[in-house]
Chains A and B, each alone.
Chain A
């Protein structure tokens, strides 16, 4: 116990009474550790950042009716939605398709919830504006071209109710949708309005869901819905979920690479500094040996100094690393980074490990110093 106290005191004195020299090593470690913990924070946060980013590419999970009927009940859809984590759910859009006419031209009409569409399909280009009232509709750009309808004008929707009674309603076209896809030949009506026209509700043909999560998480969600809600069949939109995983993997390996390079740099930097320190302290090392220190004792002292330096530098770096990550995140992803507690002990451990590792070659050198240097007064 007493011996350990003397040891600790010696290490502490060596570090604090030779401050200027140690400061250089400390700086190197702290800067390295800053980059390291910053990168680590980003590494851990990338899925979240990218997940948000990727949600702008649209739905990654759809629900289709399970049986042959081609329709599913809204009750089932709502039940299915309960299996999605609310904090990661971006939007759920039900689609109900009917064959109606617009200005006497036949057209496919979709009943949707516009507020949700904006979330699940943020890539829609809307000429005009999104509908806000129940008598406002949106039309695909193909239909706009056929019929010559422009945003802000009236259009007559006509068709037959479920009981085969004809109806015709004048609606305001608030916007024209361009997507480059099938949406361009569809007329979009608020779901509740369409249900009122048709005289029947509570049933939809398709549900688009946008939810954050890795491919595995998505598969798990789909699995649970499939197992627990018999009326609906969940399908992953593979193209999007898959490419999200690829990009994620690439970005992570990039960050990993940068981190590895930084680690290598600290290693070299600390090793060089320690090498200088050892050269400067040849006499002291020789002296300690001359008065009876074993090589192992010298090694222990230098490693302890290295570990202490690593700990101090790592601690400073772990804190500033968060701000470094914040800076990068704000500039690259335009959003703030989530603090991950794991980054602190991880950066600390890495800093200590790298510093001790960097100390090994100089320490080996220190252990080899002959005690005779003391008498020769080299």
Chain B
């Protein structure tokens, strides 16, 4: 079964054609990597799949729901219920502690549960730093808080836009370990990355160029060529 189907999806910003006639299906439990040069439309695609932007053209079906027909409220609901977002810049609410940042994701979703949030932080190795403010955490630690937050509501689809872009090797390894764990437990993962190393962990890799899918390959092949 497919969790995501893009048919003839285009996105234009004024005169900029960020995405052109994209066809893509992602199966349940698949790990997909999106690669490509800067400006090729990777983030644009994540925004559309993540229900943060509407495609100018084409159809996007996420978990059986056609996104282009949904009102903003409906998009918010899908974002909340089905998607876990991880960003390149470790976006955290600056005045809330690590724990509070995870708790608000529960709060917007349904019911806050501090124990569960603490458990999520422990699972990314941050049990001891739960009461720290983002400014008191390292970049890698902040990214792991973001991951804990993305996972807290058990999303069907995890979207990560360059999750390791600002991390050193050790932290990159930690994050990849977490993604592997999630993948192992059946989550669908879409990762945008510039690093072939990160891309090689995926089941399938697509390469975008000028808003089009230029190539499709597998993580294993990518690894060999790298």
Contacts and interface: CB of A to CB of B under 8 A. Distances in A.
Contacts of B103: 6
A6 B104 contact: yes
Contacts of A376: 43, 47
A135 interface: no
Interface stretch (B31-39, B86-94, B218-226): B86-94
Contacts of A9: 100
Interface in A45-97: none
Contact of A290 (B50, B96, B100): B50
Interface string A1-15: 011011101100110
Contacts of B50: 290, 375
Interface centre among A291, A293, A370 (most CB of B within 10 A): A291
Interface in B132-183: 133, 149-150, 153, 161
Interface centre among A2, A5, A292, A370 (most CB of B within 10 A): A292
B206 interface: no
Given A3-B111, A10-B100, A284-B93, A291 B52 contact: no
A95 B81 CA distance: 91
Contacts of B104: 6, 10, 288, 291
Interface size class of B (residues with CB under 8 A): 35 or more
A291 B52 CA distance: 10
Interface residues of A, number: 30
B79 A290 contact: yes
Contact of B87 (A292, A370, A374): A374
Contacts of A239: none
B43 A3 contact: no
A292 B91 contact: no
B108 A297 contact: yes
B60 interface: no
B47 A372 contact: yes
Interface string B168-209: 000000000000000000000000000000000000000000
A310 B140 CA distance: 39
Interface in B76-129: 76-77, 79-81, 85, 87-89, 91-96, 100, 103-105, 107-109, 111-112
A172 to B, nearest CB: 84
A366 to B, nearest CB: 14
Given A371-B79, A372-B52, 16 more contacts: A7-B107, A17-B133, A288-B93, A290-B85, A291-B80, A291-B108, A292-B81, A292-B105, A292-B109, A294-B76, A295-B72, A371-B52, A375-B46, A375-B50, A375-B87, A376-B47
In order of increasing CB-CB distance, the 7 nearest A-B pairs are: A292-B80, A17-B95, A292-B108, A372-B52, A371-B52, A293-B108, A6-B107
12 contacts: A2-B111, A3-B107, A9-B100, A283-B91, A289-B76, A290-B79, A292-B79, A295-B72, A372-B52, A374-B52, A375-B46, A375-B161
Interface of A: 2-3, 5-7, 9-10, 13-14, 17-18, 283-284, 287-295, 297, 370-372, 374-377
Interface of B: 43, 46-47, 50, 52-53, 72-73, 76-77, 79-81, 85, 87-89, 91-96, 100, 103-105, 107-109, 111-112, 133, 149-150, 153, 161
